[in-house]
Structure 1
Amino acid sequence: MKPRLTLGPVLFNWPADRWRDFYFRMADEAPVDTVVVGEIVCFKRVPFFADAMDDVLTRLTSAGKEVWLASPILVGSERERAAMRDLVRCDILPMEANDMGALALLEGRRHAVGPFINSYNEATLAWLAARGAMSVSLPAELPAASVAVLAKAAADLGLDVEVQVFGRAPLAISARCYHARAHGLHKDGCQFVCGNDADGMPVRTLDGQPFLTVNGTQTMSHGYLGLAAEMGRLMEMGVGRFRLSPQNMDMVAVATAFRAVLDGDRDGAEVAAELSRTAPAPLENGFFHNMAGASYGAELGTDA
């Protein structure tokens, strides 16, 4: 199968018109094969995008994109559980499950598994495949050796494996809203302050060094995961899907560059060097090379 490029869901609280126009442009201009759509970080944001959702889905499908609807990462209240049940049961488009509750509701139906579910070993892949998973997006913190093992196991199961190759790495999700707390607000009266940070709110250490990024209830890496130089090696392992996570930059240009690497038209190291100059945050590939996740180095022939 030809390697496929996936655009993950927008994780940040962008204004509704910007959110809609972003997907319209990705539908019309970006060489991505699959687009995952849905508010998965904070249930309170959902009403902002509801009126634009049908137009976005229509535009993407009309452009020939494979579209998946994404379930939330963390479901708490009964209202949120009811909304997730309604989302899963609509059965209009394939679903990407991002928590165990969604997996339970999707059992027996063909679905994808997002990177927010901990798929760390071969037994987990076998269990997911038996329940109807057709694709599994691996957690961003896995080193190359683990990705290779899981890609081989997935191939034996007839399962697609996906690896995130660009964008901030998702690290944790919490019932507490760090964004609201940082502004002296409670979660229930957050005033949607996460909307002030289109690329997340930077977190620094006591001595002022960049450390992490906060996006509402979500904790993310400070830098952008950047595996352009490693894509050839990932394809050799048997990875067939490559995920881009939307950031506050020209994502059409990012998708075009990664598509060129997949097609053999550009060198991955060249694209990585270009992104290191143009991305708003530094690139990181330490997880893949079994080093500190925030580190970045040239593609290494072997990993520690």
Structure 2
Amino acid sequence: MNPARTTLTLGPVLFNWPAEQWRDFYYRIADEAPVDHVSVGEVVCSRRQPLLGEQVADVIERLERGGKTVLLSSLALPTLERELRSDGQLRAAPYLVEANDVSMLRLLAPTPHAIGPLVNVYNEHTAQFLASRGATRICLPPELPKQSIAAIAGAMTTAAIEVWGFGRSPLAISARCYHARLNGRSKDSCQFACDQDPDGLEVTTLDEQKFLAVNGVQTLSHTYCCLIEEAVQLAELGVSALRLSPHTFDMIAIAHLFRQVLDGSIDAGAAISQVRSLCPGADLSNGFVHGDIGARFVIA
């Protein structure tokens, strides 16, 4: 699938932001960000879902009014009966559902749906199988090199292939909550300690080297993947969309830079310099797409 215009997708907020901050972020996205698709929903921890309350409906309405196509994200690791019921209820919603766990696939097929980056799609055969069961959008996991991305995108005729373009890379989901354990609490009495780290809690090695980041039950990369210099090449390989994962940086400005690079109105080298200025203190990386160590930044 080779669309004339590579689109931008804003992924779901992976972190535990206060409800008003979460709502206002999406309101700004609706009104100001040049993104085409927006995925909304709790992916990491079902205990956070009630915290958003009625904000979800208001956010979806505002996004649609702003001309965005809304997707609903499922949980990444549903283990409880109530979590399975909650994911199952997504089928009745009048929006494309993005599956982030294989348990959703049997519920969604054969109706049209999306595949999130937490479902491992590593080759064209898997992508074709998922497309045959109704997947119309497939976001690839962030660890794939461009050779694999090209093979998958080149084999697709019915599903849009999306690549992780910006944000800390999701690496793993656990049944154990790191934030709760760090604070001497159990998962069920965590007191939402993860809300103290709106971009994730940085993890260092015993040698004080920056290593990973944790977000409740989720493990993320320490570095922030940024493929703005590779955006045009990925589009030429047949990638239909780039995904931007929300952080507390100015995501509106970052989205505009990606759009300008894709449209050819700004040089990619100048754009990456501006991204660095928008993300003070953040270590950027692009190693995975170049077949290198993921935490590295390879000079294109």
- TM-score with structure 2 setting the length: 0.97
Runs of at least 4 residues of structure 1 off by over 3 A?
Answer: none
State the 1:238 CA deviation. 0.6
Pick the aligned partner of 1:98 from 92, 97, 100.
Answer: 100
Check the 8 A contact 1:43/1:80 in 2, yes or no. yes
Aligned match of 2:189:
189
| Aligned equivalents of 2:248, 2:206: Cα separation in 1 | 26
Find the counterpart in structure 2 of residue 149 from structure 1: 151
RMSD of aligned alpha carbons: 0.9
- Asked if the contact 1:35–1:68 (Cα under 8 Å) also holds between the matched residues in 2, the reply is yes
Contact 2:199 2:247 in 1 (8 A): yes
The answer as to whether partners of 1:229 and 1:298 remain within 8 angstroms in 2 is: no
Which residue of the partner structure matches residue 67 of structure 2?
Answer: 64
SS at match of 1:288: helix
The match for 1:36 is 39
In the alignment, structure 1 segments of 5+ residues that lack a partner are 300-304
How many correspondences in the alignment? 296
Other structure's SS at 1:69 match = strand
What's the offset of the Cα at 1:50?
A: 2.2
Superposed CA deviations along residues 96-142 of structure 1, whole A, max 9, x for unmatched, are: 11111111100011111010000001110111011000010000000
User: Do structure 1's residue 296 and structure 2's residue 297 form an aligned pair?
Assistant: yes
Provide Cα deviations, 1:238-287, integer angstroms capped at 9, x if missing partner: 10101000011111011111111111111222211222233141100011
Q: Secondary structure at the match of 1:135?
A: strand
Normalising by structure 1, we get a TM-score of: 0.96
Does residue 48 in structure 1 map to residue 38 in structure 2?
no
> Which one-letter code corresponds to 1:164 in the other structure?
W
C-alpha separation between the residues in 1 aligned to 2:203 and 2:184?
Answer: 16
Distance across 1 between alignment mates of 2:268 and 2:243: 15
- Equivalent runs, 1:133-282 vs 2, <5 Å: 133-154=135-156, 157-279=157-279, 280-282=281-283
What residue number does 2:113 align with?
111
Q: How does 1:116-131 map onto structure 2 within 5 Å? A: 116-131=118-133
Question: 1:295 and 1:103 mapped to 2: Cα distance?
Answer: 34
Residues 250 and 278 of structure 2 are in contact (CA less than 8 Å); yes or no, is this contact kept in structure 1? no
- Structure 2 portions without partners, runs of 5+: none
Identity of aligned residues (%): 50
Q: Which of 79, 85, 96 lines up with 2:82 in the alignment?
A: 79
